[in-house]
Amino acid sequence: MSMDLALEAWVSALVELTKVRWMLGGGRRWQPGDKLKLLFTGYNGTRNTGADVRVEEMLRQIRHILGEENSELTVISHNLELTRGYFEGIRQVKLPDIFPPFLFSEVPKHDGVVACEGSMFKSKFANALTTMMIGSLGIASAENKLSIGYGAEAGHMDSTLAKMCARYCRDSLIITRNEESQSVLGKLGVSTELGTDTAWTFEPLDLEYGRKTLREAGWDESTPVLAVCPINPYWWPVKASVAKLAVKTLTGAYGKSHYRSVYFHNSGPEVDAAYERYLSAIAGAVDRFRQEHRVFPIMVAMEMLDRDACARVSDKLGAVPVFTSADYDMYQLVSILRACHLMVSSRFHGIVTCMPSMVASAGVTMDERIRNLMHERGQEDLLLTVDDPELEEKLLVILRRLQVEHESIREGIGRTVARNLKVMAKMGVYFEEAVRKCYPDYPFRNGVKTWEDYIPPLSPTLRRLLETYGS
């Protein structure tokens, strides 16, 4: 049996055991007068800027809806040091690498779970991550507590994982980021509502911070800044392997592909060759574009795992500046992105977080997330795939379009941001309804509410955007 299958069996057994324990009268049940305790399970603590930003806004939104005085929110983190200063006023707990016992003991301490990983139901990245999402939702459901996936995406899952999702998430509510994810989950009998990502309301440090940081890196304040967010699209999925860990411990082999603990990235000569083709194509397109147009290119590592990709493209371009999430927190890094003028990104949240400042952006995608976003913007022609054999030539064409057609591209961006702010408010309504159904006596605010009552307070930047594009 593979380690992934063993992990899935372990978590499934703990969900079943939780059902028995609950039937025998064990476990916490919310009572009027208590604070509603919710556990947020996701991928925080790896300095993945997108994951941290979307959870920051999710926490702000849900605390705004529930009322700070009546709720107590807890978020998990893989590394508490890397989330220090994030999620103000929210309790953080460390998630162990071997997580099933943690879920079994921690989830019952709360009145519900909000699963907050974007790639919630997929085998593309790591079956272990999806197993954790299903397990946390399943344990909450087993105790008849609130069980919600918030801003989720679903894609292909291995057959055993899909069966696990169908069995243990059937009593959960999954609010998805797109209709495609609803379709995947609907076939498994899982209840869904249509929502969006939650990063739209995020406000970084002011724009002057980003401009100052770019000046310190050599920007002359007038040349358009081109941000490039490359990744390694080929070393997924991450899989658990005790055998590889043993070999690594004894001989040092597999060191390059070691993720952490018993988890290893996909690796091998074919992976290395495909990765090099992708990086060379991006570097080639950017180099040819800067020969045609006056532009200041920078590399941005949205997650610490992206540092190698950024460094290698930078080297190919003659050592252009590199900004990484290891060196800049989410408030700083997004400020830098919003000070840019053009962007090409293989990171979904690289694009999303710069859209409120109307950065003209295009995507080079490894999965459906950026594809779905570009479809929503009505700009599918600004999308390429990482394995396109003509990536360099096609990306050069797109870079030229970003330069020439930036005004019309920004129109589509502005409309998309305004629309998603209102969709995010609908998510808040769905969340409130789910809490009312589970806990009818919860003391929500009374009176007539507007859609803005269901999102955290908006920044001046977003208010101006709504005035222009919100009709």
Q: Please give the pLDDT value at position 447.
A: 72
What's the mean pLDDT in 308-326? 98
Domain 3-201 falls under CATH 3.20.20 = no
Sheet holding 360-365, edge to edge: 322-324, 296-301, 225-229, 342-345, 360-365, 383-385
207-404, what's its fold?
Answer: Rossmann fold (3.40.50)
The half-sphere exposure of 87 on its side-chain side, counting CA atoms within 13 A, is 26
Kindly calculate the radius of gyration of the chain based on its CA atoms and give it in whole angstroms. Answer: 22
- List C-alpha distances in Å: 54 to 152, 246, 248, 352: 11, 36, 35, 10
Give the C-alpha separation, 314 to 132, whole Å: 36
- With beta carbons less than 8 A apart as the criterion, state whether 361 and 345 touch: yes
3-201 and 207-404 agree in CATH topology: yes
pLDDT at 146 over 80: yes
> For residue 85, is it left (φ>0), alpha (ψ between -120 and 50) or beta?
left
- Among 29, 26, 22, 23, smallest CA distance to 441 is for 29
The tens digit of pLDDT for each residue in 45-64 reads 999 999 999 999 999 999 99
The tens digit of pLDDT for each residue in 228-262 reads 999 999 987 877 777 787 777 878 777 777 877 77
Q: Please give the pLDDT value at position 464.
A: 93
Q: Please give the pLDDT value at position 448.
A: 60
pLDDT at 40 over 70: yes
Q: What angle do CA 358, 310, 273 make, to 5 degrees?
A: 120
DSSP element (H, E) containing 178: none
Count the Cβ atoms, other than its own, within 10 Å of residue 385: 17
Domain ranges of the chain: 3-201, 207-404
What's the mean pLDDT in 86-113? 95
The two most distant CA atoms of the chain are separated, in Å, by 72
